[in-house]
A and B are shown apart, each in its own frame.
Chain A
Amino acid sequence: MLLISCPWCGPRDEVEFRCGGEAHIVRPKDPDALLDSEWADYLFMRTNPKGVHRERWVHAQGCHRWFNVLRHTVTHQILAVYRIGEAPPEVEHHR
C-alpha cells in the first residue's frame, strides 16, 4: 500500500489515486508526418524500467488533479512528487 503525497492535498492513501502510467510521453505535433513505426512507438511502446519510473497519477477521489511521481518499481519507494509540466528532479535512491 502506497502513501502518496498529492502536491495539493498532502499525503493520502493509495486508494484515493489512480495510476496513469508512464509520464513525459509527448504527443507528436504532426502525426501525419510520422512513419507507422514512430506512431506505434508513441502509442504503444513503453520504457517499463526495473528501477526508477516516471509516472503520472491522478487524485481521483480527492482534488482530481494530475501530477507526476518518481517511484522505484522494485521497492515501490516514492522518491519525488512534482507537478505536470515540471522536469523530473534529480534523486538518489537505494535499492
Chain B
Amino acid sequence: MKRYSIFALLSHAISGHQRWPRLWRDPDPKPRYKVVIVGAGGHGLATAYYLAREHGITDVAVLEKGWLGGGNTGRNTTIIRSNYLTDDSAALYEHSLKLWEGLTAELNFNLMLSQRGVLNLAHTLHDVREGVRRVNANRLNGIDAEWLDTAQVKAFCPILNVDPGARYPVLGATLQRRGGVARHDAVAWGFARAADARGVDIIQNCEVTAIRREGGRVVGVDTTRGFIGAGKVAIVAAGHNSVLAAMAGVRLPIESHPLQALVSEPVKPILDCVVMSNTVHVYVSQSDKGELVLGAGIDGFNSYGQRGSFHVIEGQMAALVELFPIFSRMRMMRSWGGIVDVCPDASPIIGKLPVEGLYLNGGWGTGGFKATPGSGWVFAYTIARGEPHPLNAAFGLERFTSGGLIDEHGAAAVAH
C-alpha cells in the first residue's frame, strides 16, 4: 500500500495527479477462501480488516452484489456517538468510538472525523428524566456526558429555537462532546484499501444466490460469478440479512424497513454541532460541503425498495422548522432511502448462527454507522476464535430464546 503523505502529495503534484494508484485491486474470485464475508459495506470491510490485522487471517474474500459502500454505508447521516443507556450497548459503542478516534492515522486515510458534539434534546418532563438518567449511566460507564439546561443549550447551539411558547419547548439536552460526524464513504474506502493491502480480496458485482451446506455445516456460497468455497461464511448484509439467512434455513427476528434521509442546498457554516430530537423527531448536522443532512425514523412497513413514503419526510421537515425557524426557507436537494434491518430490541445480532461455520453481524437497524469499526473488531474476533468477544457476548441470536434482550428500545438516545 502506497502511504499517503505530504511527500506523496508533492511528488504526484509534479505528474499532475495522474499516477495515483488504485485504492484496491479488482481480483477474480479464487475457488476457496478460509473466510467469505457477504457484504462490502463498512461493517463487512472493517471485519475483513480486523481479521487480517488482529488475527492474521488474510485468506478472506468480501463479496458485494453491487459496488463497495453503496448500501447503507453511503446512505446514512454519518452521526457518531456512544451515549447509550444499557451497559452492554455502552461498552460496544464506546469501544467503537475509541477506535474511530485513532482510525484516520491507523488506516492512513482521512475519515474526516469531526467531534463537534451531539445534543439530544429534551422536550418533556419524561425526556428530561430519561436524559439525566442516561447522562449518569454514561458517566458510570466512563463515557463523557453532560446535562445542559435550556440556557446552556441555547449557548451551545444559538440558532436553536428555545422559545418556552413552542409546542414542544426545549427543556434541556444531553451533550456528548466526543460525538460528531465522519465522512461515511471514506470509512468504507479506508477499510477496503487497508484490507486489500493485507491480502483480502474484495469482489464487487458478485451476488450470493445460495449458501451451500454439507452435513450441517457451511461449505461455501453460490454466486453470480460461480461457486466459492469457504471454511466460514459471515453475513454482513444489512437490510438483506433475512434473505441470506433464509438461504441457510435460519429465521431471524429481523424486519427490513426503509430509512429515509435528505440533504439541503449547501449554505455557509451555520450549524457546528449535531442536534437530535426524539420527541419532535429529526436529527440534523451540516456537512463540510455546507448541506444540512437530515434524518428521522423508519417507514412503518417492510420494504427492500430503498425508498419510502413522502409523509415521513414531511414529518421530519416539520420538526426541523419547529426547532430551527431559520431553516424554514431552505430548499431540499435530494432524498433517498436505505433498507435497515430492525431487531425487536433495537440492538444488533453479532455472533454464530445455528449452522456450523455460519456467522451473522446484523440487525443494526437505524444506528449502525457509528459502530462500524467496533462492529468489525468484535465480529472478526468472533469469526477467528469461533466464540464471541466479551463485548459482543450479550448480542447473540440466542438472546431471543433465553429472554436476555438488550432492551435499548427508547433508551438509546434515539426514538425507534
Question: Hey, which bits of chain A sit against chain B, CB under 8 A?
Answer: 1-2, 14-15, 18-19, 21-22, 36-37, 40-41, 43-50, 53, 55, 71, 73-76
Q: Which residues of chain A are near B300, meaning CB under 8 Å?
A: 18-19
The answer to whether B305 and A37 have CB atoms under 8 Å apart is no
Q: Which residues of chain A are near B240, meaning CB under 8 Å?
A: 50
The answer to whether B304 and A46 have CB atoms under 8 Å apart is no
**Which 8 A-B residue pairs are closest in the complex by CB-CB distance?**
A44-B253, A48-B242, A45-B251, A19-B300, A40-B401, A19-B301, A1-B309, A44-B400
Q: Which residues of chain A are near B302, meaning CB under 8 Å?
A: 19, 21-22, 48, 53, 55, 73
Within 8 Å of chain A (Cβ to Cβ): is B110?
Answer: no
How many Å lie between the Cα of A57 and that of B253 in the bound state?
Answer: 20
Q: Which residues of chain B are near A37, meaning CB under 8 Å?
A: 401
The answer to whether B304 and A36 have CB atoms under 8 Å apart is no
Neighbour of A41 across the interface among B251, B309, B402, B403, CB < 8 A: B251
Can you report 12 residue pairs joining A to B where beta carbons are below 8 Å apart? A1-B309, A1-B311, A2-B301, A21-B302, A22-B255, A36-B403, A46-B253, A47-B242, A47-B251, A48-B256, A50-B243, A74-B303
Residue of A nearest to B256 (CB): A48
How many Å lie between the Cα of A62 and that of B401 in the bound state?
Answer: 38
Q: Which residues of chain B are near A47, meaning CB under 8 Å?
A: 242, 251
How many Å lie between the Cα of A51 and that of B81 in the bound state?
Answer: 35
Q: Given A1-B311, A19-B300, A48-B255, verify A73-B401 contact (CB < 8 Å).
A: no
Q: Which residues of chain A are near B401, meaning CB under 8 Å?
A: 36-37, 40
Q: Which residues of chain B are near A21, meaning CB under 8 Å?
A: 255, 302
The answer to whether A36 and B251 have CB atoms under 8 Å apart is no
Residue of B nearest to A37 (CB): B401
How many Å lie between the Cα of A73 and that of B255 in the bound state?
Answer: 11
How many Å lie between the Cα of A2 and that of B299 in the bound state?
Answer: 11
Within 8 Å of chain A (Cβ to Cβ): is B344?
Answer: yes
A interface secondary structure, majority? mixed
Within 8 Å of chain A (Cβ to Cβ): is B111?
Answer: no
Within 8 Å of chain A (Cβ to Cβ): is B252?
Answer: yes
The answer to whether B304 and A74 have CB atoms under 8 Å apart is yes
How many Å lie between the Cα of A73 and that of B306 in the bound state?
Answer: 10
Q: What string of 1s and 0s marks CB contacts (under 8 Å) between B231-270 and chain A? A: 0000000001011000000011111100000000000000
Residue of A nearest to B310 (CB): A1
A94 to B: closest C-beta gap in Å:
15
Residue of A nearest to B242 (CB): A48
The answer to whether B252 and A48 have CB atoms under 8 Å apart is yes
How many Å lie between the Cα of A75 and that of B251 in the bound state?
Answer: 23
Q: A14-B309, A22-B255, A41-B251 are in contact. List 20 more A-B contacts (CB 8 A).
A: A2-B309, A19-B300, A21-B302, A36-B401, A37-B401, A44-B253, A44-B344, A44-B400, A46-B251, A47-B251, A48-B252, A48-B302, A49-B242, A50-B242, A50-B243, A55-B301, A55-B302, A75-B305, A76-B301, A76-B305
Q: Which residues of chain B are near A48, meaning CB under 8 Å?
A: 242-243, 252, 254-256, 302
How many Å lie between the Cα of A72 and that of B160 in the bound state?
Answer: 41
A17 to B: closest C-beta gap in Å:
9
How many Å lie between the Cα of A22 and that of B302 in the bound state?
Answer: 9
Q: Which residues of chain B are near A50, meaning CB under 8 Å?
A: 240, 242-243, 256, 304
How many Å lie between the Cα of A81 and that of B167 in the bound state?
Answer: 38
